[in-house]
Each structure stands twice: as C-alpha cells, then as structure tokens.
Amino acid sequence: MSAFITLLRVVGGLFALLFGRSLFWLFLAVVGFLAGFALGQALFPDASPLVHILAAVGLGLLGVFLARAIPSLVLAGVGFLACGYVLLVLVRGMTPVSGLLQWVVFIAGGLVGVFLANRFFDWALVIFSSLTGAAALAAVGSDLLHFSGAVQAVVFVGLAVVGIMFQLGLTRRGKRRR
C-alpha cells in the first residue's frame, strides 16, 4: 500500500472519527472514499492501485454531491456504506474473507446501517462517523503494525468510544453557545 493512500486513510479516518457529525458533507466524502477503496480492492483485486483510488475518489465525490442534494436519504445510504464497511473491516481482521462472502458481510452490515439511520438520525451520524473513523484507523494500524485481529478489534472499540465521546462533547458545547 502506498504511503499516499495510507495518509489519505488516516486523515479521512481522523476527520470521520472526530468531526463526522459537524462536517456531515466531509463525513460523506470520507465514507464514499473508504467504501470505494474497499470495494475497488474487492471487485478488482489484481488491478493497479490507481483503479482503487479512482473508485474511492468517485464514490467520495458522489457522497459530497448527494449530501448537499438529499441529506436524509443520503444518511440511509451512508448508514449502508458505513456499517457495511465497518463490518467488513472487522470480519477481515478476524478471518480471511473473499468472494461472495465479502458481499454478504458488507450487505448485512449495510442493512443494519439503514435501519439505524432511519430510526436515530443525529445519533446515527455520531455513531456511523465514529465507527467509520475507528475502522479506518484500526485497519491502517493493523496494516502498518501487523497486529492480530483481536488487537485490531480492541483498537477499533477504543477509538470508536473516543470518537463518540468527542463528538457528543462538541454537540453539547454547540448547544450551550446558542
């Protein structure tokens, strides 16, 4: 994996983890980018990194456009992509998956995400963005440091908790100013 892609994943993961709710459009771009990159790798495993980057950038730009046009419908889509991505990263951290099983895992996570997004909009934004950022950062950490799936899961949970707490703190501070 190139250093540039790693840097993009880290920066995107940090923004999603800490500012996903307050920068909704940026969170959608990050989700699109991360999901596009993961799906690009799954669909075209033998393709050059440029193909994976193009898929990531394409879905990232689509996320920004849709965030501006139809935010509530987009959150359901983001729930699908975010939870699908998170579950795929977690499962990949525990066991090798490929082929049809990757799609089943992604779709199962995605359906849970759609339900959560429709039921709890504001909370869903905080949770989805924190989980997405945590998954991206834990995956990069695992790629760079080669730690086990169990360690990756602990890092993921710890980062997700930090992200949720941080974003809830930002939300409370914003409400006090009004």
Calpha distance 6→143 (Å, rounded): 9
What are the residue ranges in the chain where pLDDT is below 70? 1, 171-178
Calpha distance 131→167 (Å, rounded): 12
Inter-axis angle of helices 121-145 and 149-177, to 10 degrees? 140
Per residue in 100-115, pLDDT tens? 888 899 999 999 989 9
Per residue in 158-174, pLDDT tens? 999 999 999 998 766 65
**pLDDT, position 176:** 59
With a pLDDT cut of 70, the percent of the chain lying above it is: 95
Domain that holds residue 84: 3-177
Q: Is 2 left (phi over 0), alpha (psi -120 to 50) or beta?
A: beta
How many domains, in total, are found in the chain?
1
CA nearest to 130, candidates 178, 91, 103, 169: 169
